[in-house]
Amino acid sequence: MDGRSFEFQSSLHGLTLQAGGYVILDDGQGERFGQVLKVEAVSERAAVHNVPGLASDVLIRLAHGEGIVLDRDQRPFHQAQVRPATDEEAGAWFARQRPHRAALTVGELLLAHGVPANLDAGGFNRHTFMCGQSGSGKTYSLGVVLEQLILKTKLRLVILDPNSDYVHLADSRPALDADTGAAYRDAAAKVQVWGHESDPPLRLRFMDLDPAAQAAILGLDPLADRFEYAALMDLLRHPGERGEIGTGIHELAQSEDPEARALGLRAANLGVLDWSVWSRGQSRSLTDAVLDDSIRALVVDLGSLGTAEEQRLIAQATLSTLWRHRHRREPVLVVIDEAHNVCPREPADAVTRLAANTAALIAAEGRKFGLYLLVSTQRPQKVNEEVLTQCDNLLLMRMNSESDLAYLREVFSFVPQGLIHRATAFDQGQSLAGGKFFPQPGFIRFGRRLSEEGGADIATEWAGSA
Ligand SMILES: Nc1ncnc2c1ncn2[C@@H]1O[C@H](COP(=O)(O)OP(=O)(O)OP(=O)(O)O)[C@@H](O)[C@H]1O
Ligand SMILES: [Mg+2]
């Protein structure tokens, strides 16, 4: 009656209709393009007339389904024949939906062979959630999205890279044809990777951290350690007046000031002074790079750092720098792979708690300052809830856990329920896409990367061969 939703039934024998598939409905007066959202087998009683040996009614099994009409013209209709759309018919509909903004071709439609899967670049002014179980292809496919953003848009990227997966983001694959390779290398020329041994190296000034983060890495609680905490705050408020603490944490230990020296001792005992991330004055601080608009994409190579504490601190410093300077209103896509570690729902330490809180602030209010999130995880229920629930775009890859899927159904209610179920049967690289960046929730298959992969899976030569 609404000209949009329809129900159908069909024989289970040779069933050609599947959830997510595209169909043509023909009511004798014209054709409509639509999509199947759900198919299930049902039992129905059917009357039997004059068949010797059979009762007057039998139970038969048939396919029952639901779908929606995707054409703009949505006149009500009563009855129509339904058949799968050809790849050309699906391609024609998607060609008409081509975004006005740049089209990010990330692969092709899973159920319409050869039809490009185009994400609307403009849709990245919303937060995006990507999830799938380990090995489903998140990191690889996220790379495909990042490459397209680099190639087709001017959006700045700041990428928290926990496993050094994107350290070759600027290097095009040798197998690419010459034109594509050159175009990509050109676009990626201003990608910078900051890692432990990069040039410039990934370093941070103690003085560039939030006071809360400074206290957290020294293990200071504002109440339990009130004297030391107050001394730290006082030192930070009046740098130079009570013995020079300059830019670094190492100066604390050498200070003339007994309170500063006590803080330095604390840092030394905690092992904080041994971290490699401290800038000793000579090198640029990561916080400058995070705000440097001439760096088109900044890969923060957390995987190169020696300790989990340093990784947490660098992630926190990156997020809080972006948030503190939000009034610049410079659009940035903040990419967080393994988001359940960077902004978990239940942080296990003080620095991660600060990072998770900042991520939640960016999720809730970042959009109006041009701060957009793209977070990826295998554990949706372990990610900060505010971060997850503020996402308007979804990329769902293979996911077996029923409890995770039930949770996603609840959070991403704009995606038809029947489509989410298919995630249990996805192969690597297959995904459900839905939200502001895709015309209609549906299935896609990610294409090949343009750049070299970084820390790929460990080779399995140890397994031997026959
Ligand atoms: N579309 C693809 N084409 C070719 N190889 C792929 C594709 N997707 C993933 N791979 C390969 O499969 C492996 C696992 O993929 P990936 O690292 O992206 O999984 P993941 O979902 O990020 O897993 P985890 O949650 O453990 O980080 C990688 O070695 C990657 O190179
Ligand atoms: Mg991964």
Q: Is the CB of 426 under 6 A from ligand 1?
A: no
Q: Report the pLDDT averaged over residues 380-408.
A: 97
Residue 457 pLDDT level (bands cut at 50, 70, 90): low
Tracing tokens 């300790």 back to the chain, one arrives at: 307
Residue 232 pLDDT level (bands cut at 50, 70, 90): confident
Residue 244 pLDDT level (bands cut at 50, 70, 90): very low
Residue 235 pLDDT level (bands cut at 50, 70, 90): confident
| Tens-place pLDDT, residues 71-83 | 987 788 889 999 9
Is 226 a residue whose pLDDT tops 80?
Answer: yes
Q: Is the CB of 390 under 6 A from ligand 1?
A: no
Q: Report the pLDDT averaged over residues 34-49.
A: 91
* Strands ordered across the beta sheet of 371-377: 116-120, 103-109, 442-446, 430-435, 391-396, 127-131, 371-377, 332-336, 156-161, 297-301, 191-194
With a pLDDT cut of 70, the percent of the chain lying above it is 95
pLDDT averaged over every residue in the chain: 92
Give the pLDDT of residue 458.
Answer: 60
* Span from the CA of 411 to the centroid of ligand 1 (angstroms): 25
> Topology of domain 103-204+278-455, per CATH?
Rossmann fold (3.40.50)
With a pLDDT cut of 90, the percent of the chain lying above it is 74
Q: Is the CB of 429 under 6 A from ligand 1?
A: yes
Domain residue extents for the chain:
5-85, 103-204+278-455, 209-274
| Tens-place pLDDT, residues 132-178 | 999 999 999 999 999 999 999 999 999 999 999 999 999 999 988 99
264/363 Cα distance (integer angstroms): 35
The string over 277-315, giving b where at least 16 C-beta atoms fall within 10 Å of a residue's C-beta and e elsewhere, is bbbeeeebbbbebbbeeebbbbbbbbbbbeeebbbbbbb
* Span from the CA of 307 to the centroid of ligand 1 (angstroms): 25
Query: Which residue has the least CA distance to atom 31 on ligand 1?
Result: 456
Query: Which residue has the least CA distance to atom 26 on ligand 1?
Result: 134
Residue 239 pLDDT level (bands cut at 50, 70, 90): low
* Span from the CA of 114 to the centroid of ligand 1 (angstroms): 22
| Tens-place pLDDT, residues 101-137 | 999 999 999 999 999 999 999 999 999 999 999 999 9
Distances (CA, A) of 366 to 16, 154, 386: 45, 19, 12
293/325 Cα distance (integer angstroms): 13
Is 243 a residue whose pLDDT tops 50?
Answer: no
| Tens-place pLDDT, residues 15-24 | 999 999 999 9
Is 305 a residue whose pLDDT tops 60?
Answer: yes
**Which residues are within 5 Å of ligand 2 (an ion), measured at CB?**
138-139
CA 333 to chain centre: 10
Is 247 a residue whose pLDDT tops 60?
Answer: no
Give the pLDDT of residue 260.
Answer: 81
Indicate the burial class of 419 (C-beta count within 10 angstroms; 0-12, 13-18, 19 or more). Answer: buried
Residue 456 pLDDT level (bands cut at 50, 70, 90): low
